[in-house]
Amino acid sequence: MFLFFSSLKNSSTQAQLNHNTTTGMWMGAASMAGSWVAAGPTIASFMFVWAMIQQYCPQAVLRFFKKYWRRLMNYFHPYIQISIHEFAGERLKRSEAFIAIESYLSKNSSNTAKRLKAEIGKDSTNLVFSMDDHEKVTDEFQGVKVWWVLNRTGSSTNPDNSYPNPDKRYYTLTFHKNHRSLITEPYLKYVLSEGKEIRVRNRQRKLYTNGSGGRWSYSHTMWSHIVFEHPATFDTIGMEAKKKQEIIDDLQTFTSSKDFYARIGKAWKRGYLLYGPPGTGKSTMIAAMANLLNYDIYDLELTAVKNNTELRKLLIETTSKSIIVIEDIDCSLDLTGQRKKKEEKLKDDEKEKPSKESSHKEDESSSKVTLSGLLNFIDGIWSACGGERLIVFTTNYVEKLDPALIRTGRMDKHIELSYCSFESFLVLAKNYLNLETHPLFDQIKELIEDVNITPADVAENLMPKSPKDDLEKRIHKLIQTLQQAKEAAIVEESQEANTAESTTTYLQSQTEGERSSSSSI
């Protein structure tokens, strides 16, 4: 026994000495290993004695032993360890604490850790380092040293290589028990807040999309991402200044209203409905929103989502500070008002001939996202997890949408993106031509107010197509397009007027005919 304790004490002293070296507590691994080899037979003897005691000792004596054994261990190893798992508790989502610690440690990993992982940082201009698996990093807080290790148990993928194995990485934080309150309270608080800040500062924004296929062969749809680098900003969007400012104010008020949302008991999210003809800048507006707020984008392809459960899973996986986009919501699913009528008709038909066919139809529809599933996605209980999110729908046909989907509270702000006005043209002219004024702009003003031309078409005309395309040429090209559009509109109008006139004449002759036949009767 004595031999055991003395060798244990020696190893412990060795470990403590190692703590005091600049390279941290693990640097003396080789000498530690030597001590443990020497202590091997002693440990074996001890285990044998302990087994005997456990078998033959009365319970009271055993409790006594256990109590003093723990005290003894505390004496020789006075360190506390805290583990922070990557997928602790919420198995569907990476732990926020883990992510924050990862970012925090990236700060001094590059100075102390020997093996580092490098990732491309913000704007693709720098590399961000983080510690690799099983690396150790020493940190100091108010003069107290702590040690972080990133552990990994098992492999990063399942044996069948089908999806990442989520439960395997965790950090351990080790510190002396004398500093328990300092480390568990102010230090960890500091680590989390600093980590979150570093993450926002360094992170590459991402554009996520859901869809089967890709790197992992999932049986269900999951998010995959690329770096989000769209250059659109509110400065580049052709839109009336007042309307633009209103949207910017709304977004900025939202992002700074965390406390307000908490106070009124509402989930910190806001819905935007962007509607208007194709080419009026709905997608561009989403990119500008993400750039303004520094958010990620989740481009949700509803047709690739099997059912409501899968939709909920995708929602849970989204992170804070993000925009969830469903483009062309009217085309994504049969979510229009007419859907109900169709369903009712189908039910009536099926009532008349209950058969295998109808049960097959039910099966099919149960594997689809439904309107109620989508409503739940927007404002159900699950929608509150993650916080600070915008949900944006776009459509070319707002009148087709089910009113339940776009009512205030779900889609809080409805923004119409329309044909190009002269004010919008001036923004495009400044961006594409670098011109604020030009003698031909008066002519453009007159024309543009008479025709329906999208900003996309205006932009296309202002784009240089060859080195010879100087400013004058591009302005003339736009004027020509506007004139053609105006002529086409006049022709269309006169055709419509002719059709209307001939319909009226036809109806009149019909009525007169009916009158004369009834008078002859």
Ligand X SMILES: Nc1ncnc2c1ncn2[C@@H]1O[C@H](COP(=O)(O)OP(=O)(O)OP(=O)(O)O)[C@@H](O)[C@H]1O
By the criterion CB under 6 A, which residues form the site for ligand X?
A: 236-239, 278-284, 396, 417, 428, 455-456, 459
Smallest gap, in angstroms, from Cβ of residue 448 to ligand X?
A: 13
Smallest gap, in angstroms, from Cβ of residue 413 to ligand X?
A: 17
What is the distance between the alpha carbons of residues 146 and 179, in angstroms, rounded to a whole number?
A: 10
* Closer residue to ligand X (CB): 237 or 315: 237
Residue of 168, 95, 179 lying closest to 139 (CA atoms): 179
Residue of 251, 325, 353 lying closest to 294 (CA atoms): 251
Smallest gap, in angstroms, from Cβ of residue 284 to ligand X?
A: 4
* Closer residue to ligand X (CB): 195 or 279: 279
* Closer residue to ligand X (CB): 105 or 426: 426
Query: In 404-420, which positions are buried (b, 16+ CB within 10 angstroms) versus exposed (e)?
Result: ebbeeebbbbebebbbb
- DSSP characters for 164-190? B-GGGEEEEEEEEGGGHHHIIIIIHHH
* Closer residue to ligand X (CB): 312 or 474: 474
Strand blocks (E) in 188-278: 206-211, 222-227, 269-275
Residue 358's contacts (CB-CB under 8 Å, 6 or more residues apart) are: 350
Encoded tokens for 125: 């201009």
- DSSP characters for 27-68? TTHHHHHHHHHHHHHHHHHHHHHHHHHHHHS-HHHHHHHHHH
Chain position whose Cβ is nearest to ligand X:
281
Q: Which residues pair with 145 in a beta bridge?
A: 140
Smallest gap, in angstroms, from Cβ of residue 420 to ligand X?
A: 7
Give the pairing of strands 169-176 and 79-85: antiparallel
Encoded tokens for 140: 């100091």
* Closer residue to ligand X (CB): 130 or 283: 283
* Closer residue to ligand X (CB): 417 or 447: 417
Smallest gap, in angstroms, from Cβ of residue 286 to ligand X?
A: 8
297 phi and psi, to 5 degrees? -120, 130
Yes or no: say if 139 and 108 are a contact pair by the CB < 8 Å rule. yes
What is the distance between the alpha carbons of residues 243 and 460, in angstroms, rounded to a whole number?
A: 23
Smallest gap, in angstroms, from Cβ of residue 329 to ligand X?
A: 11
Encoded tokens for 159: 């044996």
Phi-psi sector, 43: left (phi>0), alpha (psi -120 to 50), beta: alpha
What is the distance between the alpha carbons of residues 469 and 426, in angstroms, rounded to a whole number?
A: 19
Smallest gap, in angstroms, from Cβ of residue 454 to ligand X?
A: 7
Residue of 14, 488, 91 lying closest to 317 (CA atoms): 91
Per DSSP, the three-state class of 210 is: strand
* Closer residue to ligand X (CB): 271 or 386: 271
* Closer residue to ligand X (CB): 326 or 428: 428
Smallest gap, in angstroms, from Cβ of residue 277 to ligand X?
A: 7
What is the distance between the alpha carbons of residues 158 and 205, in angstroms, rounded to a whole number?
A: 28
* Closer residue to ligand X (CB): 96 or 240: 240
Smallest gap, in angstroms, from Cβ of residue 139 to ligand X?
A: 46
Residue 217 DSSP code: -
* Closer residue to ligand X (CB): 386 or 455: 455
Smallest gap, in angstroms, from Cβ of residue 430 to ligand X?
A: 11
Residue of 343, 350, 362, 325 lying closest to 402 (CA atoms): 343
Q: Which residues pair with 264 in a beta bridge?
A: none
Helices then strands, counting H and E runs in the chain, come out as: 19, 13
* Closer residue to ligand X (CB): 388 or 457: 457
Smallest gap, in angstroms, from Cβ of residue 336 to ligand X?
A: 17
* Closer residue to ligand X (CB): 128 or 458: 458
Smallest gap, in angstroms, from Cβ of residue 480 to ligand X?
A: 19
What is the distance between the alpha carbons of residues 236 and 515, in angstroms, rounded to a whole number?
A: 63
